[in-house]
Amino acid sequence: MQNYGDLLFPLVAARRLSALGVEVVPIAPTKAHAGVPDALSPLDIAEMLSGDLRVDGIVIGGGYLIHTHRMDILREYQGTNVGEWAGAGLWLGAALAAALRDVPLAWNAPGVPHPIPQSQRALVDAALRSSSYVSVRDRGGAELLAAPEGLPVEIVPDPIAELGRLWTTRDLEEPFQSFLARKGFQGRTNFVAVHFRNRSLAGQTPQEAAAMLSAFAKEMELTPILSAIGRAHDDDVLARAISLHLPIPHILLDDPASLREVAAAIAFSRFYVGASLHGYITAAAYGVPGILVARPAYRKFAGFLEHIDRMEDLARDWATAYGAGAARKGEALACRIPQRTFDALDRHWRRIEDAIATPEQFSEARRRFLSAIFAFGLRELGPQWAMQPVVRRAADFAAIRK
């Protein structure tokens, strides 16, 4: 999906696992490329499940993945046949693919947005037990996942926290200068990177959002960069609507040329304020002061801030965010991610490496998961779920013989 944070996870994983000689191949609901050149090209869920693709292990990527909601509300999956089941496919499908191949399954600290329905509990528990390593990115996710007693679930900082190890500030200098040139912006200016998402405005109009931002930018003496981090969530549409009413000089980043360009626009700003967790994490990774607008108050926001002891960076609405930001006018760039966060991520990736290196472990649990998902399908859809494909193939064979 065209969402900056989601597209970073395979890149971070590829860097981390390269020492093992591992090639990381991202899996997505469809194989459509996200449209930015530095994102990895995905294979689709069907290929992951087909058995034709040889793999040594499967890693459930980060982000808000652990759910079974329909995803055809997103523009990428409209008009396809995957939107209804893609959400489950990215994690339960991953567990199924690992079990079919009998290869290790590890969790790369994904998020859990909602409780697991009781009707799905037995199947989810079997998937958890089949995993060589289970981790989520915050305490709220662990509580919502509610793993079976005795099954360890590690709580790990969001892996994008080490973005500065993937791309240094020097790596981003050229993309930033190219970005300014592409937008026709000249001269030395201090910027504030701003990210809006529809859910964060909660009834506020684009005109009202523009007026508030204009007042804040003037007070901070900063030029806004409107960064549409998630085009999958119509961030670009909203950014353009706000830009139309913004009466001060600003840059509209609604058409990112690359993931590096998005990161650079934040890394070379003097302040960040926005409703994107990964926008805030990017700012923190490059030492940029920031305020995270947690509206609605998803637990992932406070969850990450707890990891880095910066709860003061949390705001429940835009007025509070701007007030908190104005109180920190002129704050210097400084490291905002403590060493213990990187230490935790080092341990996390060692656990994933260990899982890949010991494929024989959890083999029996993977077989039990196959039995569980087959029993679940029979119970929910009846025997025809298993028998109809067999009958259809027999009918096709008979037609060929005639």
Band the pLDDT of 196: cuts 50, 70, 90: very high
Q: The pTM is what? A: 0.94
Band the pLDDT of 1: cuts 50, 70, 90: confident
Task: Say yes or no to pLDDT of 296 above 70.
Answer: yes
Q: What is the pLDDT of residues 77-108, one digit of tens each?
A: 777 778 888 889 999 999 999 999 999 999 99
The pLDDT of residue 75 is 74
Tell me how many degrees the CA angle 299-302-303 measures, rounded to the nearest 5. 75
The pLDDT of residue 389 is 83
Q: What is the pLDDT of residues 223-241, one digit of tens each?
A: 999 999 988 889 999 999 9
Band the pLDDT of 206: cuts 50, 70, 90: very high
Task: Say yes or no to pLDDT of 397 above 70.
Answer: no
The pLDDT of residue 111 is 96
Task: Say yes or no to pLDDT of 366 above 90.
Answer: yes
The pLDDT of residue 395 is 60
Task: Say yes or no to pLDDT of 402 above 60.
Answer: no
CATH code of domain 166-337: 3.40.50.2000
CATH code of domain 4-160+345-401: 3.40.50
The pLDDT of residue 267 is 98
Band the pLDDT of 56: cuts 50, 70, 90: very high
Note whether 70 and 119 are within 8 A (CB): no
Q: What is the pLDDT of residues 123-155, one digit of tens each?
A: 999 999 999 999 999 999 999 999 999 999 999
Band the pLDDT of 399: cuts 50, 70, 90: low
Residue 240 tokens read as 């353009």
Q: What is the pLDDT of residues 244-257, one digit of tens each?
A: 999 999 999 999 99
What is the pLDDT averaged over residues 302-329? Answer: 97
The pLDDT of residue 78 is 73
Higher model confidence: residue 395 or residue 273? 273
Of the CA atoms within 13 Å of residue 181, those in its CB half-sphere come to 6
The pLDDT of residue 392 is 67
User: Which residues in the chain are classed under CATH 3.40.50.2000?
Assistant: 166-337
Task: Say yes or no to pLDDT of 400 above 70.
Answer: no
What is the pLDDT averaged over residues 353-360? Answer: 96
